[in-house]
Structure 1
Amino acid sequence: MGVGFLLAACAAQPAQAPAPESYTAETTYAKLVPKYPFIRIASRTVPRTVRAVADVTYVRRGAHDLKLDLYLPVAGTTAPRPAIVFVHGGGWRTGVRANFAPMAIRMAERGYVAATISYRLSPEAPYPAAIHDAKAAVRWVRAHAGEYGIDPGRIAIAGGSAGGQIAALTGVTNGEPHFDPDGGPVSSDVQAIVNIDGLSDFTSEEARKYEDDPAKQPSSAGAWFGGRYAEKAALWRDASPLYHVKTTTPPILFIVSAQRRFSLGREEMAEKLRRLGVPNRVVPVPDTPHSFWLFDPWLAPTVEATDGFLREYLRPRL
């Protein structure tokens, strides 16, 4: 499948309204609370120690302004801070950036500038549009580093579920032109990746059992790729972070739930990273459902793992 086809496939689709906002902390809580009665939706309240800048347009796609929300530490060092861009989940066809507001706020409390982004979902534009958007968001953060006290050499990307896969693919394709059609003098490269319960390989037999289920017409992945694996195998492979790993891949943290199906390909990817000498870490959050990062008490260990990893691998350049 050629580069021209990928870009043409994305451009040929008519713009549509964003998908319904059905994957939210509230709807997910209603599904999970019968089995996990102790959980609480993590708070989106912005404390006085954090400044929020909401509804910032980072790129326009046709008539659609794609927006992000920024969360910045109020006090502390005057030195440029590391930044982290969060990509929400929702099966590539739904979800809202507010789902990552609680984690972004907690990362801001720890000294990061955090951005939560919206991107084009599959009803509006197919793969690889979401990757183009995530890279555009990174570029926007880097271009506005001076305005918001960001170190442009220390930008991480993170996401959960489908957003974890998008974040990982965004990072492992640093420098791959066909994933970055906007281009320009400002780089979209990231220096670290955090994949929270997102797929690393769409193509394995085990992954296709879920993602290419013929009973689903279409499956979430099938809707994103515009066809089943037998019809669009090149796209299914192209979207798998596993196949883009190289010696220059940024350090990557995998945070995983107890639900194996959502992070398939991770073991193979971690082994490939190890062989190439790329720093990586796997942190399981035991006895958890998918979407655990939306809820207390599981958000705290997720933030702790992310902060610990980034403090080790997202260091200032000397």
Structure 2
Amino acid sequence: MRKLLLAQVGGLVAWGLVLASTPAWSADGGNADPVAEAATEKNTTDPVPAVQTSDAVEDPGQSVEVRQFLDLRYSESDGTAGLFDLHIPVSDQHTITTSDAGEVIVEGEPRPAVLMIHGGGWAIGDKWTLRAYCDRLAQLGFIVVNMNYRLAPQHQFPRQVDDVRQVLLQLVEHADDWKIDLSRVGMFGYSAGGHLSALIGVLGNEERSTQMLASEWPRDDPRWELLPPIAAVCAGGPPCDFRIVPDDNAGLSYFLGGTPREVPNNYVAASPTAHVSPGDPPTQLIHGEKDLLVPIENSEKFAAALMEAGVAVSLTVVENQGHMMTLFHPKTKQHIKDFFTKHLLQR
């Protein structure tokens, strides 16, 4: 199973996401993703209580209590795929209670929300890997939702995209209970999560026929009309364009359901760069200068397309860092904080 998963994620080589001749995710385990592997191990061996409290510290001398409501369910998918966590900051202006049915109730003024999406090549990973980021954002005053999604190859595109939409509907359904300002909803994801965040962001103002290429929802599904607008997207290390994969290359078949020759629409539908248009949300891209798994050209070309369309976009390059370490770099943490503060808190 380990070799299978590494081979699947190694399929990113398909369009030059690995520049060296040896794949960054090798079948012998030499360069496996330690975060994704840890997520898989923790999920099966270390159950987490349903509710926790943490003292998230962003600045020296400052501590804000954050209530964590873990493993809430947004779908009936098997295992952990249909679960999400809710991170709510405690303040003098906001009180948090739970009803007899276990529902979370917040009293106070509505606040902005951020949806977090983990990475792992669409095939592995778990929401807990972003939990520290969730607490940091909650400390600033955000309602933070941290999601799992269905994983390839058992579940192929576009199911992961629909799972993101389904969690966004949780924000709508519970906007009054959690005191969410639906005009200030942002998204952050890294790697595969960055791809899903960017894709949802640029698809939001597309024609329904285009959106349906990246969905299993029918055209007349009432859920389309309920989705909240995305006000800001921050994506780290995102794969952005699958259209240049050679016609008969099967490297991404585990995720996209076939080769470009067999399912050409999937390779277009899944490419954020293909859907850039005026009116897309402000976007912050963060990429490691020496990322060999997802080369920086992905973010550079995506940023150029957004800029040409008149969309506010910034690309932060983390010098001398590869794919995984960029996620944990202090510059990444700071830019996530600054970006959402500017575009969601200060609006």
TM-score range, shorter chain: 0.7 to 0.9
Please give the alpha-carbon distance, in whole angstroms, between the structure 2 residues aligned to 1:67 and 1:199.
24
How far residue 282 of structure 1 moved from its aligned partner, in angstroms, is 0.7
Structure 1 residues 92 and 265: CA distance shift in structure 2, 3 A: same
Q: Which residue identity does 2:233 align to in structure 1?
A: I
* 1:1-318 aligned within 5 A: 25=35, 27=37, 46-47=54-55, 49-61=65-77, 66-75=82-91, 77=93, 78-176=108-206, 177=208, 178=212, 179=214, 181=217, 183-184=222-223, 185-204=225-244, 208=245, 219=251, 221-258=252-289, 259=291, 261-262=293-294, 263-292=296-325, 295=328, 298=329, 300-314=330-344
Residues 24 and 99 of structure 1 are in contact (CA less than 8 Å); yes or no, is this contact kept in structure 2? Answer: no
One-letter code aligned to 2:299: R
Query: Rg bigger for which structure?
Result: 2
- How far residue 171 of structure 1 moved from its aligned partner, in angstroms, is 1.2
> Aligned letter for 2:280?
T
Amino acid at match of 1:171: G
SS at match of 1:288: coil
- What count of residue pairs does the alignment treat as equivalent? 270
List runs of 5+ in structure 2 lacking aligned partners: 1-31, 40-51, 56-63, 94-107
RMSD: 2.8
One-letter identity of the residue aligned with 1:198: P
Greater shift in the superposed pair: 140-149 or 153-162: 140-149
Deviation of the 1:245 alpha carbon: 0.8
Aligned pair in 2 of structure 1 residues 26, 85: CA closer, same or farther (>3 Å)? closer
Q: 3-state SS of the aligned residue for 1:132?
A: helix
- When residues 81 and 166 of structure 1 are mapped into structure 2, their CA distance, relative to the original with a 3 A threshold, is same
1:76–1:280 CA distance, 2 compared to 1 (3 A): farther
Q: Secondary structure at the match of 1:124?
A: coil
Q: Distance in 2 between matches of 1:63 and 1:102?
A: 23
Q: CA deviation at 1:144?
A: 0.8
Per the TM alignment, residue 63 of structure 1 is displaced from its structure 2 partner at its CA by 8.7
2:53 and 2:76 mapped to 1: Cα distance?
Answer: 28
- Taking the aligned partners of 1:93 and 1:26, their CA distance within structure 2 comes to 9
Amino acid at match of 1:289: G
Distance in 1, Cα, partners of 2:137 & 2:333: 7
SS at match of 1:246: coil
Alpha carbons 1:84, 1:155 under 8 Å: kept: yes
| 1:95–1:113 distance in 2 versus 1, CA, 3 Å | same
How many angstroms apart in 2 are the aligned matches of 1:64 and 1:53? Answer: 15
The residue type paired with residue 259 of structure 2 is R
Give percent identity, aligned residues only: 27
The question of whether the paired residues in 1 share the 8 Å contact of 2:172 and 2:182 is answered with yes
Q: Secondary structure at the match of 2:153?
A: coil
- What is the distance in 1 between the residues matched to 2:166 and 2:160? 10
Q: Which blocks of at least 5 consecutive residues in structure 1 are unaligned?
A: 1-21, 30-43
Question: After superposition, what is the alpha-carbon deviation per residue over 1:141-171, rounded to whole angstroms, capped at 9, x for unaligned?
Answer: 1221221122111111111111110111011
Change (3 A) 1:96 1:169: same
1:276 is matched by which residue type in structure 2? A
Matched AA of 1:85: L
Cα distance, 1:173 vs structure 2: 0.8
8 A Cα contact 2:287 2:326, kept in partner:
no
Residues 242 and 250 of structure 1: CA distance in aligned 2, closer, same or farther (over 3 Å): same
Which residue does the alignment assign to 2:58?
none
Residues 65-97 of structure 1, C-alpha deviations (whole Å, 9 max, x = no match): 611001111115543211111111111111111
TM-score normalised per structure 2: 0.70
Per-residue CA deviation, residues 123-148 of structure 1 (Å, 9 max, x unaligned), is 33210110011011111112212211
| Helix, strand or coil at the partner of 2:54 | coil
TM-score for both structures, normalised by structure 1: 0.76
1:203 and 1:283, CA in 2 relative to 1: closer, same or farther beyond 3 A? Answer: same
